[in-house]
Every structure is written in C-alpha cells, then in structure tokens.
C-alpha cells in the first residue's frame, strides 16, 4: 500500500513530513535524486529523463501512485509524462494544482470556467527551470482571470539549503525578494514554488512584510493527497515498506536529511 514521493534532493522531505502526518497508515517511499540535484538549472529534456527514471524506480517499489514533490519536475516534465508515458494503471501527480486551488478558493475537480478571484497580484518564487516553464501561470489560467503573476528565479537558494548554509540561504531570500519587489512593489500573495523553500518561509514572510499572504505547498499537498486516496483507494500500491532511497551518497544524504527534518533519517542506495 505504499505511495512514492519523488524530489531532486531533500526539498520533498517537507512534503513527506506533512503527508506522513496526514496519512500515518500509509507507508511512503521517498526517492531523492541527490546526485543530479539541483534540477532547476537543467533543460526540460534532462528533467524529463531524470524524472521518468525515478518514477520507474518507485513503481518497482510497489508505488502505483507517485507524487512529484519537485516543482521543477512538475513544471517541466509532468504534462509530457501524462500525455504519452504513464500507463493507465499508474498515476503521477504534481504539486502545483493543490496550491493554486487553495489560492483561488476552488475545490478539487471544480472544472467551471476561470473566474475573477480576490488575489490580483501574485509573486512566484521558484527555480529558474520552473520560471522558464510558465507552468504555474498556465495552470492558474485554467482557474482564474485577471491575476498578474511576477516570477522571480531564485538562483543558488536550493544549493544553499541542500548544503545546510542557512546564513547564505537567508541572504539569497532577501536578495530575491528585493529583486521581485522592484518589479512588483505590492504583491498580495507569494507562492513558494519549490519544496525546499518552506524551510525559509519565515524569512520570506519577514522580507515581504506582514500584509503578504505566503503560500507553501506541504500541508496543501497532504490534504489533497488524503482526499485523492479517499476517492481512489485502488491507487495505493502493493508496496508495504516505508524507505528512503537516494542516488547520492546514502551516509552524506542521511546526515543532511536528519538536519533537514530534525529527526533521524536513514537513506539507502537507489
């Protein structure tokens, strides 16, 4: 009954932590492609090839349902995968849609025409690849009209977080927020469009100011997954064991992951 969680590195652990709390009876298999992180600087074909290889590995673990807890993979690869690659008995879901549904106050499965919403000016902080894909804007356009999105590519931030250099990470967050505000001085909402970024949410909030609503994905994805599995219980796969897999050095990744989640995490080679 396992469900797969995939990320290019450690950022997806924020999603894993939330879904594990929401669904304690479900074993999750986490796959971190740490040897190829970060994905945010790669081109779309490269991201697609790495993502499909990771998803196949999770299928091998008995995970018929895989969550792409990586915004870059969700943005650059998911649509292509869904159109021509995923078998009918498998499902791969991304992390953008639950966040957009929350921001636009729409329920899952609401396929009514796009409409005006309360938020008109949105700041998007994401990796360079996610920004280039314009996937967030595309998904938002299916649900809302009249929303101005200003995207800021946060180069270097994932690397700093993965390395555990939070002093550099904070400096980068404040620099990227300043750059965004030069383009959009008064955003009403901010999207943390990378699963690494919730670790810096307080810094983002402080730099943006108290009047900006900051959305991050972990709890929203957890709620959405719980609802999805309630409606599609057959998508819980045959896997029985929770585990952590990495393409990187398991010992090194385990140390960083333990610091990341502040509880002991032991990775094994993928």
Task: Tell me the fold of 3-96+218-269.
Answer: Rossmann fold (3.40.50)
Determine the pLDDT at residue 219. Answer: 87
Highest CATH level, class, for 105-215: alpha beta
Which of 75-79, 125-129, 174-178, 260-264 shows the highest mean pLDDT? Answer: 174-178
CB-based contact 221:18 (threshold 8 Å) = yes
Q: What is the pLDDT of residue 88?
A: 93
d(CA 197, CA 126) in angstroms, rounded, equals 9
CB-CB contact of 175 with 267 (8 Å)? no
**Range of lowest pLDDT (35-39, 69-73, 79-83, 107-111):** 107-111
Q: Is the whole-model pTM more than 0.75?
A: yes
Annotated binding site for substrate: 7-8, 39-40, 71-72, 195-196
Residue 43 has a pLDDT of 93
**Statement: residue 246 has pLDDT above 90:** yes
| 76 vs 44: CA distance, rounded Å | 5
So where are the chain's domains? Answer: 3-96+218-269, 105-215
State the binding site: 7-8, 39-40, 71-72, 195-196
**Fold matches, 3-96+218-269 and 105-215:** yes
Beta strand pairing call for 268-269 and 91-93: unpaired
88 torsion bin: left (phi>0), alpha (psi -120 to 50), beta (else): alpha
pLDDT digits (tens, 9 = 90+) for 108-154: 667 789 999 999 999 999 999 999 999 999 989 999 999 999 999 99
- Residue 175: per-residue pLDDT: 98
How much is the mean pLDDT over the chain? 93
pLDDT of residue 229: 92
Q: Of the ranges 16-25, 51-60, 96-105, which one carries the lowest mean pLDDT score?
A: 96-105
Rounded to an integer, the average pLDDT of 223-227 is 91
> Which residues are tagged catalytic?
70, 194
């Amino acid at each position: 009954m396992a469900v797969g969680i995939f990320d290019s590195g450690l950022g997806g652990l924020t999603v894993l932590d939330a879904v594990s709390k929401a669904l304690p009876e479900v074993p999750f298999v986490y796959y971190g492609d740490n040897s190829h992180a970060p994905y945010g600087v790669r081109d779309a074909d490269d991201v697609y090839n790495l993502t499909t290889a990771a998803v196949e590995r999770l299928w091998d673990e008995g995970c018929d349902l895989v969550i792409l807890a990586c915004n870059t993979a969700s943005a650059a690869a998911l649509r292509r995968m869904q159109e021509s690659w995923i078998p009918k008995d498998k499902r791969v879901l991304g992390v953008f849609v639950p966040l957009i549904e929350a921001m636009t106050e729409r329920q899952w499965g609401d396929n009514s025409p796009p409409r005006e919403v309360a938020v008109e000016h949105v700041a998007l902080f994401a990796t360079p690849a996610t920004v280039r894909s314009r996937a967030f804007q595309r998904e938002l356009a299916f649900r809302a009209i009249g929303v101005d999105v200003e995207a800021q590519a946060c180069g270097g931030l994932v690397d700093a977080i993965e390395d555990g250099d939070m002093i550099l990470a904070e400096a980068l967050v404040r620099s990227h927020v300043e750059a965004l505000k030069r383009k959009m001085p008064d955003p009403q909402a901010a999207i943390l469009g990378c699963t690494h970024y919730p670790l810096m949410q307080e810094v983002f909030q402080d730099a943006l100011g108290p009047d900006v609503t900051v959305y991050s994905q972990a709890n929203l994805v957890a709620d959405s997954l719980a609802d999805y599995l309630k409606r599609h219980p057959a998508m819980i796969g045959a896997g029985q064991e929770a585990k952590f897999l990495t393409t990187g050095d398991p010992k090194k990744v385990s140390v960083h992951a333990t610091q990341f989640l502040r509880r002991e995490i032991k990775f094994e080679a993928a």
